[in-house]
Structure 1
Amino acid sequence: MSDVLFHTRGRAAHITLNRPRALNSLTHQMVLRIDGALTEWERDPAVETVVISGAGERGLCAGGDIRAIHDDARDGDGDGTASAAFWRDEYRLNARIARYPKPYVALMDGLVMGGGVGVSAHGSVRVVTERSDIAMPETGIGFVPDVGGTHLLALAPGELGTHLALTGARIGAADALLCGLADHYVPSASLRPLVDDLARLPVHEALARHVQAPLPGELTEQREWIDDCYRADTVEEILRRLLARGRPAAAEAAETLLARSPTALKVTLAALRRVRRLGPLERVLDQEYRVSCACLRHPDLVEGIRARIVDKDHEPRWSPATLAEVAEADVEGFFAPLGERELGLADRSRTTEEVPW
């Protein structure tokens, strides 16, 4: 059985990520096949809408195949590796989804993490359910949010995106809508009827039959302390403010940060602050590619995946082990130009008109 399935039904073309035992995690071949299908459907006048979903009951996609990335980073030389090649095509796909000229409907039901965010949250129509569980948890494995995640999180209100990027916190439907990671709430029981309607109706008419208001989330009530703490210029100051806040949720966030890779935290914060000056998604993806390639050469990526996924002892030995040991020059190195190995999306980007679906 193929890892990604394609079919058309009425007005809609469908992508189904089909690795349910692996939480539909993305492989390089899956990325290439999705890109090829999008090319075909873009030229097909019979296809008016594209819909992406995940097989099984657990979610759309829990990210990329990080065990393969672990092996590649451990055994490769950090230059021209399989992971870098995968990210190159994955990030290009993320940019393509964001600029796709036809409605791209992402059914963000269940787990949607890392690369799963990349193939869904850049779409023009993003649907969440009461089962949605969305996160960018990269700092927990010694990595930095990618797939355009820093772009999306930098656009979230206040410092909510900074909080989510640094802690990797998981959010549900209402908070995804608040943060701009989703557009519509549809109960999971209505997803199949929604898909049926997309086969015969324009997207806005199909959505109107099923969209509801979600139950309240958590972040709205936490905005005050999140914005105050995370607007600080350094991770050290963010931690100090969280610990001084006197709120259980703030203390829990501080405890989470203290368990994350110090290097990944500092690079993530620097990336988010830079994103606000970069502008279009393509420029952000170019930056993320530089950072991701640098992570391949840093010991924390292999160690983080080892501790969480391979050995599952959940006791990573970060290097450096403390925030104080991570020098500013070390952080700057993650953003160094790659020369001929640059992703170069910004050079090839074009301006497209926004289409009201």
Structure 2
Amino acid sequence: MSDVLFRRSGRAAHVVLNRPGALNALTHEMVLRVGEALTRWEHDPGVEVVVVTGAGERGLCAGGDIRAIHDDARDGDGTASAAFWRDEYRLNARIARYPKPYVAVMDGIVMGGGVGVSAHGSVRVVTERSRIAMPETGIGFVPDVGGTHLLALAPGELGTYLALTGVPIGAADALLCGLADHHVPSAALPALVDALAELPVHDALARHVQAPPPGRLAGRRDWIDACFRADTVEEIVQRLLAQGAPAAKETAETLLAKSPTALKVTLAALRRARRLGPLERVLDQEYRVSCACLRSPDLVEGIRAQVVDKDRDPSWTPATLVEVSDADVERFFTSLGERELGLAAASDSTEEVVW
């Protein structure tokens, strides 16, 4: 059985990520095949909408195949991972500018690379089961797939909070943060998908969209904004510990368990993303950072601890925030020269598609 399935139903073309045993984690081959399908459908007048779902009951997609990245960083020269990211990030940019409605059904778990193939879409549907996260700092990595672009656009400092902590959010908070557009109860998804085969997207959604269950972030905006607007991770932690709210203290403890290097690079990447503008420019930056992470000991160690050995006890290098210098952070943003991703030039002459 193929790792990604394609089918047609009326006016809709469907992408089904089909690795349920791996929570539909993306492989390089899957990325390439999705890109090829989008090219075919873009020029097919019979396709009026693209619908993306995940096989199985657990979620849309848990991210990229980080075991393969771990092995490449530990035993290889990193070229396989760099090639994967090059095609994955190009796909993310393609999705953001796709000229037909791209409906991403973000039911269940949607993390990392799963956010990349969904949250850049023009129509993003969440359910009461949605658990959306960019958990990269916990594996010594930095939010990618355009994640720093999306989170930099979130209200206040909610994006900074999500990027640094990696905590998952539900439907209401995804809507608040601009990572989703509509809430549909999970039980209504089959009917919605069927309706998309016959009706325009707006009409199909109108039959099924409902208000989501209450979220958490709106009630925490005061201390999140006050703490996460600080200029350094150290100051963010200090402000959190000084807050009276138990949730703020728990957040500080969450941060202190993450890779110190990944935290500092993530904060720098987010702040820079706010100034960079279009998605393509941010993806170019993320590609530099991701390739640099392949040379960082924390990526291999983080994946080992969280995914391979599952002891949940990574030994970060350096071990503390104070040991990570500004120069250490700056190295992650160094130009790759001829190996640059090079998406920015296209963004300067292309206007974003809005549905």
Please classify the TM superposition score into its range, dividing by the shorter chain length: over 0.9
Q: What runs of 5+ residues in structure 2 fail to find an aligned partner?
A: none
2:115 matches 1:117:
yes
- Over residues 166-208 of structure 1, what are the superposed CA-to-partner deviations in whole Å (9 max), with x where a residue is unaligned? 0001000000000000000000010000011000000000000
Q: CA RMSD in A?
A: 0.7
Aligned: 1:24 with 2:9: no
Q: 1:353 offset after TM fit, Å?
A: 5.4
Deviation of 1:246 (Å): 1.6
What SS does structure 2 have at the residue aligned with 1:334? helix
Matched residue, 1:244: 242
Deviations 1:278-317 (A, max 9, x none): 0000000000000000000000000000000111111100
Query: Residue 134 of structure 1 aligns with which residue?
Result: 132
Q: What residue is the counterpart of 2:353 in the other structure? A: 354
Deviation at residue 347 of structure 1 after TM alignment: 1.6
Deviation, 1:355, is 3.8
**TM-score in terms of structure 2 length:** 0.99
Match of 1:326 among 321, 324, 327: 324
In 1, are the aligned partners of 2:97 and 2:352 still within 8 Å (CA)? no
| Corresponding position: 1:336 with 2:323 | no
The equivalent position to 1:286 in structure 2, one of 284, 290, 302, is 284
SS at match of 1:8: strand
In structure 1, distance between residues paired with 2:345 and 2:8: 34
Contact 2:132–2:168 at 8 Å: present in 1 too?
yes
Aligned equivalents of 1:355, 1:177: Cα separation in 2: 17
Contact kept, 8 Å, 2:96 with 2:353, in 1: the verdict is no
Report the secondary structure of 1:95's partner residue: helix
Encode CA deviations 1:321-349: one digit per residue, 9 max, x unaligned: 00010010010000000000000000233
Question: In the alignment, what sits opposite 1:41?
Answer: 41
Q: How does 1:171-320 map to 2 (within 5 A)?
A: 171-320=169-318
For residues 257 and 194 of structure 2, the distance between their equivalents in structure 1, rounded to whole angstroms, comes to 45
CA distance in 1, matches of 2:70, 2:40: 33
Post-superposition offset of 1:215: 1.3
Shift of 1:352: 2.6
Give, as a single letter, the amino acid of the residue that structure 1 aligns with 2:7: H
Amino acid at match of 1:198: L
Paired with 1:347 and 1:126, the residues of 2 have a C-alpha distance of: 27
Q: Which amino acid aligns with 2:37?
A: A
Residue 333 of structure 2 aligns to a residue in which SS?
coil
What secondary structure, in the 3-state scheme, does the structure 1 residue paired with 2:38 have?
helix
Aligned length: 354
What do residues 114-162 of structure 1 show as CA deviations (whole Å, max 9, x unaligned)? 0000000000000000000000000000000000000000000000000
Identity fraction in percent:
82
Structure 1 residue 75, shift from structure 2 partner = 1.1
CA contact (8 A) 1:77 1:297 kept: no
- Aligned partner letter, 2:69: I
Normalising by structure 1, we get a TM-score of 0.98
